[in-house]
């Protein structure tokens, strides 16, 4: 087996190889301190330097100011934010708008209903989430509007977010965070489980507008209150230190690539290669997203003529060092996750395999 195979898993997912190699070294000896980054105290100066640099670089990449936004690194996964968000900002007599574009946004809706009214502002569930809605039935004066920017299960991605005016816009960006240029200042809160695009499992990045955080409810359990973690700079309790270190190294890697402009160009090129091949051979490789404008740059979902062929495709892909091509268990089929760290050569290898497989089957 080669040193590196092509990893198409949806998450935990591929990381930049340079980051993996550096973390291997610093897992033994961090910054020449004679101890591992896994061992270092979160109250030490060396840890503080690493932690704050990761926060600073994330804001720089997003084009945001530390005066206006706080970056939090918390445990609990993005799923914890499904309840933390409404706990902080949804009063019982208020309504929050939710755009439902897949399984994860449905889970977010379920949690929000414990705290207040939920209006489904748009949904594509009746079409198996095969497209992103273009019209939104927004509630005047809503507590917030929640979106899920990218849907790993079904392979869709929001290209045009709702225009919410004075209503805070929130997005779960777990699977496409920092994969493209956006006007991030339009959002009052963004949360992202790291393990799909910016780091390993175990840490969730939250970017929250400070002025909105000040309006949060005060009757919230300490660990779920955003103000708790803003006031203590994510150090109210011991943070997931090693995952944060990896996220910090990925931030440096993004900057080295040329920032989000360069990253987006690379992602468009990779996705374009794969979608173009499937469109040219749609009688064999059928893209499950019916609206090309809704296609994800991160997760490409497709079907073959039969389930038997799909099983064979996935098995032979693994034999050819193309791992993780099985679709999510809830939808079946095949899926190639081509996050920031996936090199163009990996997608090229996949397309070449698809050509050989179709010719032989």
Q: Are 146 and 105 a contacting pair, CB within 8 Å?
A: yes
Phi-psi bin for 47: left (phi > 0), alpha (psi -120 to 50), beta? alpha
Q: 3-state class of 197 per DSSP?
A: coil
Element (H, E) at 60: helix 45-62
Q: Please count the other Cβ atoms lying within 10 Å of the Cβ belonging to residue 213.
A: 21
Cβ contacts of 354-360, under 8 Å, gap ≥ 24: 354/277, 354/281, 354/285, 355/277, 357/313, 357/316, 358/281, 358/284, 358/285
Measured CA angle at 167 (ends 165, 171), to 5 deg:
105
CA distances in angstroms from 361 to 278, 303, 334, listed in the order given:
16, 14, 16
- From the candidates 172, 176, 212, 253, which is the catalytic residue? 172
Judging by beta carbons within 10 Å of its beta carbon (0-12, 13-18, 19+), is residue 21 exposed, middle or buried? Answer: exposed
- From the candidates 176, 196, 270, 326, which is the catalytic residue? 196
Q: How many CA atoms lie within 13 A of 325 on its CB side?
A: 27
- From the candidates 56, 68, 93, 104, which is the catalytic residue? 104
- Supply 27's token pair: 């897992």
253 carries an active-site annotation: no
Tell me the C-alpha distance between 320 and 298, whole Å: 22
Q: Are 338 and 270 a contacting pair, CB within 8 Å?
A: yes
104 carries an active-site annotation: yes
Single out the residue of 246, 262, 265 nearest to residue 254, CA to CA.
262
Task: Give the per-residue SS3 of 123-167.
Answer: ECHHHCCCCCCCCCCCCCCCCCEEEECEECCCCEECCCCCCCCCC
196 carries an active-site annotation: yes
Provide the pairing of β-strand 156-157 with 145-148: unpaired
Q: How many CA atoms lie within 13 A of 310 on its CB side?
A: 20
Q: Enumerate the active-site residues.
A: 104, 172, 196
């Amino acid at each position: 087996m080669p040193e590196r195979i092509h990893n198409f898993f949806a998450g935990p997912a591929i990381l930049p190889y340079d980051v993996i190699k550096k973390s291997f070294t610093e897992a033994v000896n961090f910054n020449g301190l004679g101890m591992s980054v896994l061992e270092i105290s979160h109250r030490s100066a060396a840890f503080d330097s690493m932690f704050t640099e990761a926060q600073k670089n994330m804001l720089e990449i997003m084009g945001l100011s530390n005066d206006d936004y706080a970056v939090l690194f918390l445990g609990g996964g993005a799923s914890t934010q499904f309840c933390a968000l409404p706990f902080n900002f949804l009063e019982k007599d208020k309504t929050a708008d939710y755009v439902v574009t897949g399984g994860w946004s449905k889970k977010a809706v379920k949690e929000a209903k414990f705290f207040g009214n939920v209006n489904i502002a748009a949904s594509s569930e009746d079409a198996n989430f095969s497209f992103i809605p273009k019209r939104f039935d927004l509630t005047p004066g809503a507590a917030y509007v929640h979106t899920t920017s990218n849907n790993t299960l079904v392979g869709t991605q929001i290209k045009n977010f709702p225009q919410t005016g004075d209503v805070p816009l929130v997005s779960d960006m777990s699977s496409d965070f920092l994969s493209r240029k956006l006007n991030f200042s339009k959002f009052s809160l963004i949360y992202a489980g790291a393990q799909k695009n910016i780091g390993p499992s175990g840490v969730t990045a939250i970017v929250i507008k400070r002025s909105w955080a000040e309006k949060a409810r005060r009757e919230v359990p300490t660990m779920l209150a955003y103000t708790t973690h803003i006031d203590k700079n994510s150090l109210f309790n011991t943070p997931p230190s090693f995952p944060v270190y990896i996220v910090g190294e990925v931030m440096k890697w993004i900057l080295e690539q040329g920032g989000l402009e360069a990253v987006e160009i690379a992602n468009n090129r990779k996705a374009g290669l794969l979608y173009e091949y499937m469109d040219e051979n749609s009688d064999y490789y059928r893209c499950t997203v019916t609206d090309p404008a809704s296609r994800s740059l991160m997760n490409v979902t497709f079907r073959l003529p039969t389930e038997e062929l799909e099983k064979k495709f996935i098995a032979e892909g693994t034999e050819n060092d193309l791992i993780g091509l099985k679709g999510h268990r809830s939808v079946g089929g095949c899926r190639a996750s081509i996050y920031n760290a996936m090199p163009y050569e990996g997608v090229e290898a996949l397309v070449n395999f698809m050509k050989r497989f179709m010719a032989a089957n």
